[in-house]
């Protein structure tokens, strides 16, 4: 899942969009030949001891997973792959054993983020997305990536800080907002470095992809079989780029384009969340309790805009007298249900309560649920910190103040209601002491014939990113779903499941382009 948070927050921490690398100049990057030399079948002698590990599966610690159908285990990897004799970290893995008698091997999954726990997501994938035939044929394996959950988690900010940052609204003055963004980014980044500088500097996606190859070996598979969702597609395409000879059947659903830069991603998300919000405003009229009273869909979209703007400096009461609904929190609570079309009725109810009854409790709940905040004020995971650090490492800052001002204006143009949520990412990243790794170079030389799934109206990972990756990877298949959901291989389309699972089970490559529809409900 691609996660965003409030306007100030998104900007402060180098975007909560999913980020991909772009050129930093040649001086700090390995040559093309050096990168190709890295893509070998056998690990280097210095890494061999890590590849010789085998996962010892056993009962899961309840702190890791309460699902009794899962087994857990750990592996050890170098924190810095350029220093294999140096510090190591342990990565937490989990599996559901294949239900059949002769499993093909392991099917690895990643749910997205970055910063989401793969272990927490595994039960949901089993119950709602991955078909029973696939569950019979494969051990389903997931993991918490480095820095996330139970795998050497990075924890930089306090719960109180996260509450403060999420609730902060724009001041209405760009200069003042940018100053706040830069101060917060500098503070957050320094807190991470003070907590564990070496860990902070090595939570990039390329390192996580290298971890995944060690995991592949640790479960005894010659090739990786993998389904990645959202940010998991970036992790998966990075793996394919670095380990083409070890890549088997790879499914990438809800694509983050590895060639897109910061602004491409921000603009794409802003534009498509705006389109989803407009579609929601159009369909709201079908609900008896729709609080948007204008007669046209354009008018109802303006009703939402008017409501959100009314909260600037005038937050709405909630059931928690210490936490009124600010404009930033209301925007977060409005955007979150747009990921899933079936969540739209929940958004209708929350807006009705806020607009008609002047009670922001339900919108605040949606915002908190999305941000993994518990009712007691604690946050249930470290996804906020991990996501922020990973994005900053993966994503170089490009441009200058003049360029960024022009980009901010473009965001407002394509997304007049929510565009401000996507502003100021480069300004915050520039001020952060966490500096990006050298940009990756996705050439996809010798890549296998992967399957790509894209939703025509996906708000979080625009369809054009799936089309772009389809062009980048020779021989790939693009399975297109016509829906307003985020991702497609999630149990919502028999057509998508049929194409994906024939590939996973029999190795049957779908046609170059396949069109699917949402199942009738």
Spatial neighbors of 354 by CB under 8 A, at least 6 apart, are: 291, 307, 316, 325, 330, 360, 362, 363
Would you state the pLDDT for residue 2?
Answer: 53
Residues 32 and 101 in one domain: yes
Same domain, 252 and 276: no
Any domain includes 107: yes
**HEC string of 128-142?**
HCCCHHHHHHEEEEE
> In angstroms, rounded to a whole number, what is the distance separating the alpha carbons of residues 419 and 190?
28
Q: What's the domain count of the chain?
A: 2
Residue 34's pLDDT band (cuts 50, 70, 90) = very low
136 and 85 belong to one structural domain: yes
- Residue 403 domain-assigned? no
Q: Can you point out the beta strands (E) in 25-146? A: 58-59, 71-78, 88-96, 105-110, 138-143
370, 391, 411: which is the final residue of a domain?
A: 370
Question: How do residues 448-495 score in pLDDT, each as one tens digit?
Answer: 999 999 999 999 999 999 999 999 999 999 999 999 999 999 999 999
Mean pLDDT of 104-114: 97
Kindly state the average pLDDT of the residues 44-62.
Answer: 97
Q: Domain limits at 358?
A: 270-370
Q: Are residues 340 and 252 in the same domain?
A: no
- Mean pLDDT to the nearest integer, 40-66: 92
Q: Answer yes or no: 230 catalytic.
A: yes
Out of 388, 468, 486, 493, which one is annotated catalytic? Answer: 486
- Say whether both 213 and 297 belong to one domain: no
pLDDT for res 262: 83
Q: What is the pLDDT of residue 520?
A: 86
Same domain, 67 and 113: yes
User: Given 313, 335, 370, which residue is the final one in a domain?
Assistant: 370
458 is catalytic: yes
DSSP states of 278-344 as a string?
HHHHHHGGGSTT-----SSHHHHHHHHHHHHHHTTT-PBP-SSTT--B-HHHHHHHHHGGGG-GGGH
Q: 76-106: per-residue pLDDT in tens? A: 999 999 999 999 999 999 999 999 999 999 9
Mean of the per-residue pLDDT values of the chain = 92
Query: Is 413 a member of any domain?
Result: no
Claim to verify: residue 40 and residue 101 sit in the same structural domain: yes
> pLDDT at position 1, please?
55
Same domain, 144 and 233: yes
Is residue 157 part of the annotated active site? The answer reads: no
Residue of 167, 230, 420, 476 marked catalytic: 230
Regarding whether 232 and 130 lie in a shared domain, the answer is yes
CATH of the domain at 220: 3.40.50.1820
The pLDDT tens digits for 254-312 are: 999 999 988 899 999 999 999 999 999 999 999 999 999 999 999 999 999 999 999 99
Q: Looking at the predicted structure, is the pLDDT value of residue 187 above 90?
A: yes
Q: Does some domain include residue 193?
A: no
In angstroms, the CA 491 to CA 128 distance is: 6
Strand duo 247-253 + 224-229: pairing? parallel
Single out the residue in 314, 335, 370 at which a domain terminates. Answer: 370
Residue 438 counted as domain residue: no
Interatomic CA distance for residues 98 and 441, integer angstroms: 36
Catalytic residue selected from 458, 470, 476, 493? 458
């Amino acid at each position: 899942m691609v996660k965003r948070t409030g306007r100030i927050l998104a900007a402060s921490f180098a975007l909560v969009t999913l980020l991909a690398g772009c050129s930093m100049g040649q001086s700090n990057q390995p040559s093309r030949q050096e990168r190709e030399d890295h893509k070998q079948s056998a690990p280097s002698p210095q890494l061999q001891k890590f590849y010789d590990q085998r996962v010892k599966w056993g009962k899961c610690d309840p702190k890791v997973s309460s699902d009794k159908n899962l087994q857990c285990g750990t592996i050890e990897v170098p924190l810095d792959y350029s220093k294999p004799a140096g510090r190591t970290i342990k990565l937490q893995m989990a599996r559901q054993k294949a239900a059949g008698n002769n499993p093909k091997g392991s099917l690895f999954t990643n749910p997205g983020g970055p910063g989401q726990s793969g272990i927490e997501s595994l039960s949901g994938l089993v119950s709602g997305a991955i078909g029973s035939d696939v569950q019979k044929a494969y051990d389903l394996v997931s993991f918490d990536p480095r820095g996330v959950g139970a795998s050497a988690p990075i924890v930089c900010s306090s719960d109180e800080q996260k509450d403060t940052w999420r609730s902060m609204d724009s001041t209405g003055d760009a200069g003042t907002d940018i100053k706040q963004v830069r101060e917060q980014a500098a503070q957050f980044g320094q807190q991470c470095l003070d907590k564990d500088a070496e860990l902070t500097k090595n939570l990039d996606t390329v390192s996580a992809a290298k971890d995944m190859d060690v995991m592949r070996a640790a479960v005894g598979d010659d090739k990786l079989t993998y389904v990645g969702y959202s940010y998991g597609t970036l992790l998966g395409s990075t793996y394919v780029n670095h380990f083409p000879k070890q890549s088997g059947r790879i499914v990438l659903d809800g694509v983050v384009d590895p060639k897109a830069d910061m602004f491409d991603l921000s603009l794409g998300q802003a534009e498509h969340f705006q389109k989803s919000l407009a579609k929601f405003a159009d369909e709201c009229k079908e609900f008896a309790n729709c609080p948007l009273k204008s007669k046209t869909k354009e008018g109802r979209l303006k009703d939402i805009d008017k409501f959100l703007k009314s909260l600037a400096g005038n937050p709405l009461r909630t059931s928690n007298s210490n936490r009124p609904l600010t404009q930033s929190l209301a925007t977060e609570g409005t955007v979150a249900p747009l990921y899933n079309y079936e969540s739209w009725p929940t958004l209708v109810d929350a807006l009705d309560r806020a607009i008609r009854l002047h009670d922001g409790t339900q919108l605040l709940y949606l915002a908190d649920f999305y941000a993994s905040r518990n009712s007691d004020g604690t946050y249930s995971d470290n996804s906020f910190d991990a996501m922020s650090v990973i994005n900053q490492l993966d994503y170089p800052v490009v441009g200058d103040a003049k360029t960024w001002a022009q980009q901010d204006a473009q965001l407002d143009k394509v997304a007049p209601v929510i565009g401000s949520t996507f502003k100021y990412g480069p300004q915050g990243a520039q001020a952060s002491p966490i500096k990006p790794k050298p940009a990756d170079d996705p050439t996809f030389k010798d890549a296998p014939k992967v399957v790509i799934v894209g939703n025509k109206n996906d708000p979080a990972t625009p369809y054009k990113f799936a089309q772009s990756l389809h062009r980048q990877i020779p021989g790939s298949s693009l399975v297109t779903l016509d829906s307003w959901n985020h991702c497609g291989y999630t149990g919502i389309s028999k057509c998508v499941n049929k194409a994906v699972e024939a590939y996973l089970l029999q190795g049957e490559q779908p046609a170059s382009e396949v069109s699917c529809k949402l199942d009738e409900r």
